[in-house]
Chain A
């Protein structure tokens, strides 16, 4: 590991100023991804700006009844927050389906959103990888890609985004608030993570020196229920092979509002707009759900060894929608 300097700023402004002054710097959240990548030699910042103790550790109601989540709120605190559990259960469930108790206690909201892919070649500095070293090639396309993307991948990169939390946030129409050297801005979560294209080194649209300050959730749509389901190689403490976050409102047997997002399938949380178009206004039946999910997964281009993910995602999504329907409109 390369030696580094360490700063503990006391305010957002101070943190952003320090970041702007040092191009080789990284913000340190919980460190559960960054410290690991520094040990592996994938990251080698000359300066760590420790933002984990900034006063961004609160979850508060917004004026319109939504939720404002500070960037340093720990994953376990967010999952346990009464407002999250009652109004956004998909978010609580996604967080609880990720990592371990220890890691969730340490990991922050901001760091979770910016965690890097678990592609084995990305993590191994002795291997080529376009994401780590642009232009060096993508061994995963022909190599070990069982866990990697089936949607939205490119010739240059087939990595997946590993975050469970981000999938729920995508379905919940969250907004990411950023504070950078050029000021503040807000980016919808669904536009925050990128597809790899020909520059997979950029995971997100974040600009150099920008700090995530908070994530904002809109109020829960009237009568909406939500959940998160995840399939993995073991029952706990494993990344998603495929996952789904679903938000549903059913009125008189018809889908009024639906939001669906897939995890484990792409370089970003995959908001399933084509499926939502089929769902909206249609009868809330298994037949509709299958048609909707198929309309989305039609676009899948599996690699040699990961075609099973498409079936897995299909079954997860249909099951999630059916489960939510049973809860949204209990039979009389």
Chain B
């Protein structure tokens, strides 16, 4: 990180503060992108306003809707609550980075196949969230509806029925109510 001086009106601190903007590198979809950004810029705004990647959507901007979901080091996160400067060194994957050339990611293909959208606004977030969720389940992560095991912890991947999918996807709202088809699309891809 290379802090450049900014309009720093911070508290009368004993120790001089670095500036309020920095030049740093973000790893987006496997490409290093150098940006100079005010520290207030979120990953979502960096993607949409500075890097021309408008796949991730801004719904609520407060972590409540999931439209901005991206993958950070393979794990899904709400990009509206991440400051970009804090993600230097992380691998960020957006919906634009899921396909392999012209070959859609299986989750993308399933959404098309099942017609799992109406207006499509929530879709990039739903798809990134589903990709992350499938990875979590493959790593054996439990969910709120996974039967609690009194003594033993099950080994291996968590099984994904419709109830598990609904619970694990609850961080993604769809104002069009396309939920039934979204669940079906994910069921198609789930092992």
Tell me how far the C-beta of A202 lies from the nearest C-beta in chain B, rounded to whole angstroms: 20
Find A100's partner among B149, B166, B171 (CB 8 Å cutoff): B171
Tell me the B106-147 residues at the A interface (CB within 8 Å). Answer: 129, 132-133, 136, 139-144, 146
Distance A249 CA – B39 CA, assembled complex (angstroms): 51
Q: Does A322 contact B (CB under 8 A)?
A: no
Q: Does A1 contact B (CB under 8 A)?
A: yes
Q: Does B167 contact A (CB under 8 A)?
A: yes
Q: What chain A residues lie within 8 Å of B75 (beta carbons)?
A: 76, 105
Q: What chain B residues lie within 8 Å of A35 (beta carbons)?
A: 42, 81-83
Q: Does B93 contact A (CB under 8 A)?
A: no
Q: What chain B residues lie within 8 Å of A7 (beta carbons)?
A: 18
Cβ–Cβ contact B63 & A3, under 8 A? no
Tell me how far the C-beta of B91 lies from the nearest C-beta in chain A, rounded to whole angstroms: 14
Main secondary structure of the interface of B (DSSP, over half): loop
Distance A30 CA – B80 CA, assembled complex (angstroms): 12
Contact code string B134-175 (vs A, CB < 8 Å = 1, else 0) = 001001111110101111110000000000001111111000
Cβ–Cβ contact A28 & B86, under 8 A? yes
Find B144's partner among A28, A31, A85, A93 (CB 8 Å cutoff): A93
Knowing A3-B39, A80-B142, A236-B167, say if A22 contacts B86 (CB, 8 Å).
no
Total number of A residues with any Cβ neighbor in B under 8 Å: 50
23 residue pairs of the A-B complex, CB under 8 angstroms, read: A3-B9, A6-B1, A6-B85, A8-B1, A8-B86, A22-B17, A24-B10, A35-B82, A46-B9, A47-B10, A47-B17, A50-B86, A53-B89, A76-B75, A80-B142, A86-B152, A96-B142, A96-B143, A101-B136, A102-B63, A102-B77, A106-B78, A236-B166
Find B39's partner among A5, A21, A92, A103 (CB 8 Å cutoff): A5
Cβ–Cβ contact A24 & B148, under 8 A? no
Find A6's partner among B9, B83, B144 (CB 8 Å cutoff): B83
Distance A46 CA – B10 CA, assembled complex (angstroms): 5
Q: Does A23 contact B (CB under 8 A)?
A: yes
Find A225's partner among B11, B63, B150 (CB 8 Å cutoff): B150
**In this complex, which of B129, B148, B149 has the most chain A Cβ atoms within 10 angstroms of its Cβ?**
B148
Cβ–Cβ contact B141 & A76, under 8 A? yes
Contact code string B52-80 (vs A, CB < 8 Å = 1, else 0) = 00000000011100100100100111100
Find B140's partner among A50, A52, A80 (CB 8 Å cutoff): A80
Distance A32 CA – B64 CA, assembled complex (angstroms): 10
Q: What chain B residues lie within 8 Å of A82 (beta carbons)?
A: 153
Q: Does B20 contact A (CB under 8 A)?
A: yes
Distance A235 CA – B141 CA, assembled complex (angstroms): 19
Q: Does A227 contact B (CB under 8 A)?
A: yes
Cβ–Cβ contact B86 & A6, under 8 A? yes
Residue of chain B at shortest CB distance from A37: B62
Find A4's partner among B10, B72, B140, B149 (CB 8 Å cutoff): B10
